[in-house]
């Protein structure tokens, strides 16, 4: 028995360290430049990562085909890549991704571009690259009308729901500090779970991207009971994720999107996909697009 | 792989704090559900070995129900369905008044599931000694309850320490199902770190290492316990 324990003591920490270091050497040969373009040229296939339920950005339609605002943007980018690289054809392969898998699938080369809506942050930019801004959302509060919550200050002594996959943790911590709020935080993993928590009175307010609220309200059986309240609490520029060290592919995506911003095509997409929710091009989105409207 | 390895994110604020708090919740849920599992397991396991048919049947129904329904489904039933089928005031208390709703629900769900498995091991342990020792214990003038408490269960417990160790290790890892109802335990915090930094491999590696360390520590403690309680008998067993 004593022998067994000594062996365990010896191999235990060693095994952990070995496991960790076994992973690290993969970094050595990792940073090959322009991997996406090389792949497009050799396979004539681009792989688009899509979200299955992110309405209206990226989701499966009634025929189980990926569709949505972001997916249409990416189809244009695929066309742009085909023209720029002078490929005879470019097939599009769709791979479903989730918030948890999207980054790993880009890192290991399974997916060339993630067409959903990922908030571009400096921290994430250490790991991946982003296309120009496709959509700007802001965090706001979704509440039941009878809860009496009209503003951030009304959150005192309430249960605030936030999504684990979102970017709301720093926002709620900031609000708690600034407004000296006493709130209970409840975590959910998906937007439908947040709706369930609101409607079953487990939580009082859902702090999340207002872009997501439109589809949540649409999914609700009693949309008339829900309200979006309070000021916009953050600036969330959303874009498509592409792998790092891919300057040519980044140029193709940026150039294609810039042309869509300038020609009004992007605005048409907003009308098509967000119009039914009563949402248009916001001043911040307009500003982001104008910033990217570089001349030829 | 187009991946920028950076192990230092694990030590940065607030991510280190997230990991530590996650490990804390994992330990808390594991401890809570293990206490519940042992309590339920010993009562139900003893009941299954009793010579009274209705009691055995009742305990059998518990075991089959709780070990055959997937634990994730059980967790959802406790969290989403249970508060809606009890009287409204009780339901509202579970949802709003009960302290740490996600934690408590996970402890109950994992504990009752693990309890059904512990019960089977307790039954097996008792059955190995029952035929010989129960009549002997009763013959010395002990009541059946005393026979169980003083003779059968202590010996049975010593015999099942090894399988109980496995059960405890499974329970620790099963605590991660709490993330589906929003409990921010170790796995959930790794996912959270992945989401904010896009350094998922580092975060999951840290979680893996933490589970491994906790598991090895528990194994070591149980070995010590095993040696203490079986003592000099260890070599003469059976």
Q: Which of A202, A229, A256 is the last residue of a domain?
A: A229
Whether residue A284 lies inside any domain: the answer is yes
Tally of structural domains, chain A: 2
Neighbours of B122 (CB within 10 A): 27
Task: Indicate if A44 and A126 belong to the same structural domain.
Answer: yes
Tell me whether B200 touches chain A (CB under 8 Å): yes
Task: Indicate if A152 and A60 belong to the same structural domain.
Answer: no
The residue that leads in pLDDT, B228 or A247, is: A247
Whether residue A23 lies inside any domain: the answer is no
Quick one: which H or E segment has residue B13? Answer: none
Tell me what pLDDT residue A219 has: 84
* Chain B residues within 8 A of A4 when measuring between CB atoms: 223
Answer for the pair A233, A139: CB distance below 8 angstroms, yes or no: yes
Supply the CATH number for residue A195's domain: 3.40.190.10
**CB–CB contact B2 A243 (8 Å):** yes
Whether residue A62 lies inside any domain: the answer is yes
Q: Which of A181, A202, A229 is the last residue of a domain?
A: A229
* Cα B33 from Cα B116, distance rounded (Å): 12
- Nearest-CA neighbor of A186 among B24, B188, B85? B188
Answer for the pair B143, B71: CB distance below 8 angstroms, yes or no: no
Per residue in A36-84, pLDDT tens? 999 999 999 999 999 988 889 999 999 999 999 999 999 999 999 999 9
Task: Indicate if A241 and A132 belong to the same structural domain.
Answer: yes
End-to-end CA distance of chain B: 56
Task: Indicate if A39 and A174 belong to the same structural domain.
Answer: no
**B window 2-61, beta carbon within 8 A of A:** 2-6
Q: Which two tokens stand for residue B155?
A: 């010996």
Give the residue on A whose Cα is nearest the Cα of B83.
A200
Task: Indicate if A54 and A166 belong to the same structural domain.
Answer: no
Q: Which two tokens stand for residue A181?
A: 């709020």
Nearest CB partner across the interface for A104, out of B101, B200, B212: B200
Whether residue A3 lies inside any domain: the answer is no
* Cα B167 from Cα B118, distance rounded (Å): 7
Task: Indicate if A128 and A143 belong to the same structural domain.
Answer: no
Mutate to test the interface with A, among B15, B78, B83, B182 (most CBs of A within 10 A): B182
ipTM above 0.85, yes or no: no
Task: Indicate if A65 and A116 belong to the same structural domain.
Answer: yes
- Nearest-CA neighbor of A131 among A262, A233, A252? A252
Neighbours of A225 (CB within 10 A): 15
- The CA-atom distances, in angstroms, between B22 and each of A267, B185, B191 are 44, 4, 11
Task: Indicate if A99 and A119 belong to the same structural domain.
Answer: yes
Task: Indicate if A130 and A248 belong to the same structural domain.
Answer: yes
Rounded to a whole number of angstroms, the distance from the CA of A296 to the nearest CA of chain B is: 30
Q: Which of A229, A250, A268 is the last residue of a domain?
A: A229
Tell me what pLDDT residue A25 has: 46
Helices then strands (H, E): number in chain A? 11, 14
Neighbours of A271 (CB within 10 A): 12
* Chain B residues within 8 A of A200 when measuring between CB atoms: 80, 83-84, 95
Give the residue on A whose Cα is nearest the Cα of B235.
A1
Per residue in B30-86, pLDDT tens? 999 999 999 999 999 999 988 889 999 999 999 999 999 999 999 999 999 999 999
Helices (H), chain B: 15-49, 53-68, 71-76, 82-85, 88-92, 101-139, 144-146, 153-159, 161-174, 186-197, 200-230
**CB–CB contact B209 A19 (8 Å):** yes
B61-81 core/surface letters (b: 16 or more CB in 10 A; e: else): ebbeebbeeebeebbbebbbe
CATH number of B26-186: 1.10.3720.10
> Do the strands A159-163 and A184-188 form a parallel or antiparallel pair, or are they unpaired?
parallel
Answer for the pair A103, A49: CB distance below 8 angstroms, yes or no: no
Answer for the pair A133, A70: CB distance below 8 angstroms, yes or no: no
**CB–CB contact B102 A186 (8 Å):** yes
Burial class (CB in 10 A: 0-12, 13-18, 19+), B13: exposed
* Cα A61 from Cα A158, distance rounded (Å): 37
- Pick out chain A residues at pLDDT < 70: 1-31
Whether residue A209 lies inside any domain: the answer is yes
Tell me what pLDDT residue A6 has: 56
* Chain A residues within 8 A of B194 when measuring between CB atoms: 100, 103
Tell me whether B216 touches chain A (CB under 8 Å): yes
Which whole number is the average pLDDT over B197-209?
95
Rounded to a whole number of angstroms, the distance from the CA of A269 to the nearest CA of chain B is: 28
What is the value of pTM for the model shown?
0.83
Quick one: which H or E segment has residue A137? Answer: strand A135-137
Whether residue A6 lies inside any domain: the answer is no
Task: Indicate if A200 and A71 belong to the same structural domain.
Answer: no
Query: Omega into B14 within 30° of 0, i.e. cis?
Result: yes
* Residue found under tokens 């129904």: B61
Rounded to a whole number of angstroms, the distance from the CA of A142 to the nearest CA of chain B is: 18
Per residue in B87-116, pLDDT tens? 999 999 999 889 999 999 999 999 999 999
* Cα B231 from Cα B229, distance rounded (Å): 5
Whether residue A5 lies inside any domain: the answer is no
Task: Write out the residue range of the structural domain in which residue A54 sits.
Answer: 35-136+237-292
Tell me what pLDDT residue A246 has: 95
* Cα B33 from Cα B109, distance rounded (Å): 8
Neighbours of A279 (CB within 10 A): 16
Q: Is residue B166 helix, strand or coil?
A: helix
* Chain B residues within 8 A of A8 when measuring between CB atoms: 216, 219-220
Query: What dihedral do alpha carbons A120, A122, A127, A131 form, nearest 10°?
Result: 40
Q: Is residue A72 helix, strand or coil?
A: helix
Tell me whether B209 touches chain A (CB under 8 Å): yes
* Cα B100 from Cα B93, distance rounded (Å): 12
Burial class (CB in 10 A: 0-12, 13-18, 19+), B145: exposed
Answer for the pair A37, A43: CB distance below 8 angstroms, yes or no: no
Tell me whether B201 touches chain A (CB under 8 Å): yes
Q: Which two tokens stand for residue A188?
A: 């959910």
Which whole number is the average pLDDT over B131-151?
91
Task: Indicate if A131 and A148 belong to the same structural domain.
Answer: no
Whether residue A16 lies inside any domain: the answer is no
* Chain B residues within 8 A of A124 when measuring between CB atoms: 196-198
* Chain B residues within 8 A of A27 when measuring between CB atoms: 1, 3-5
In sequence order, which residues have a C-beta less than 8 Å from that of residue B42 and are 6 or more positions away? B118, B119, B122, B153
Tell me what pLDDT residue A18 has: 52
Task: Indicate if A163 and A251 belong to the same structural domain.
Answer: no
Nearest CB partner across the interface for A128, out of B101, B198, B223: B198
**Cα Rg of chain A (Å, integer):** 22
Answer for the pair A148, A125: CB distance below 8 angstroms, yes or no: no
Helices (H), A142-229: 168-178, 191-199, 210-219
């Amino acid at each position: 028995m004593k022998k067994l324990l000594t062996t365990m003591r010896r191999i235990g920490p060693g095994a952990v360290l070995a496991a960790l270091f076994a992973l690290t050497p993969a970094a050595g040969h990792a940073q090959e430049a322009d991997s996406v373009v090389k792949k497009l040229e050799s396979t004539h296939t681009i792989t688009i990562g899509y979200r299955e339920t992110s309405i209206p950005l990226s989701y499966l339609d009634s025929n189980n085909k990926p569709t949505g605002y972001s997916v249409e943007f990416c189809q244009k980018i695929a066309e742009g890549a085909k023209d720029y690289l002078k490929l005879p054809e470019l097939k599009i392969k769709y791979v479903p991704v989730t918030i948890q898998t999207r980054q790993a699938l880009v890192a290991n080369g399974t997916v060339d571009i993630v067409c959903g809506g990922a908030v571009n942050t400096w921290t994430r930019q250490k790991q991946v690259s982003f296309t120009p801004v496709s959509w700007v959302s802001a965090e706001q509060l979704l509440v039941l009308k009878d809860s009496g919550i009209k503003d951030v200050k009304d959150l005192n002594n309430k249960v605030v729901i936030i999504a684990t996959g979102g970017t709301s943790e720093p926002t709620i911590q900031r609000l708690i500090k600034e407004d000296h709020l006493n709130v209970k935080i409840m975590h959910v993993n998906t937007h439908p779970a947040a709706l369930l928590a609101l409607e079953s009175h487990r939580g009082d307010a859902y702090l999340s991207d207002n872009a997501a609220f439109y589809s949540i309200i649409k999914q609700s059986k009693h949309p008339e009971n829900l309200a979006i309240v309070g000021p916009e609490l953050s600036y969330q520029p959303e874009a498509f994720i592409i792998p790092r060290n891919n300057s040519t592919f980044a140029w193709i995506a940026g150039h294609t999107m810039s042309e869509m911003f300038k020609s009004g095509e992007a605005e048409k997409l907003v009308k098509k996909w967000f119009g039914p929710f009563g949402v248009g091009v916001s001043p911040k989105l307009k500003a982001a697009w104008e910033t990217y409207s570089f001349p030829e | 792989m187009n991946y920028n390895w950076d192990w230092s994110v694990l030590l940065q604020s607030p991510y280190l704090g997230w990991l530590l708090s996650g490990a804390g919740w994992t330990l808390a849920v594991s401890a809570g559900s293990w206490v519940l599992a042992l309590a339920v397991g010993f009562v139900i396991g003893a009941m299954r070995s009793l010579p009274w048919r209705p009691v055995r049947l009742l305990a059998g129904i518990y075991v089959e129900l709780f070990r055959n329904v997937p634990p994730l489904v059980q967790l959802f039933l406790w969290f989403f369905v249970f508060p809606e089928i009890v009287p409204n005031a009780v339901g509202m208390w579970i949802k709003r008044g009960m302290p740490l709703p996600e934690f408590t629900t996970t402890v109950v769900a994992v504990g009752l599931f693990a309890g059904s498995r512990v019960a089977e091991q307790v039954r097996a342990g008792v059955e190995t000694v029952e035929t010989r020792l129960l009549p002997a214990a009763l013959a010395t003038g002990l009541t059946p309850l005393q026979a169980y408490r003083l003779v059968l269960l202590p010996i049975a417990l010593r015999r099942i320490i090894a399988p109980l160790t496995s059960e405890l290790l499974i329970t620790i890892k099963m605590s991660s199902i709490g993330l589906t109802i929003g409990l921010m335990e170790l796995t959930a915090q790794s996912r959270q770190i992945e989401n904010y930094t896009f350094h998922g491999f580092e975060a999951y590696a840290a979680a893996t290492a933490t589970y491994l360390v906790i598991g090895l520590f528990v194994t070591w403690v149980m070995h010590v316990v095993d040696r203490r309680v079986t003592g000099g008998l260890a070599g003469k067993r059976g």
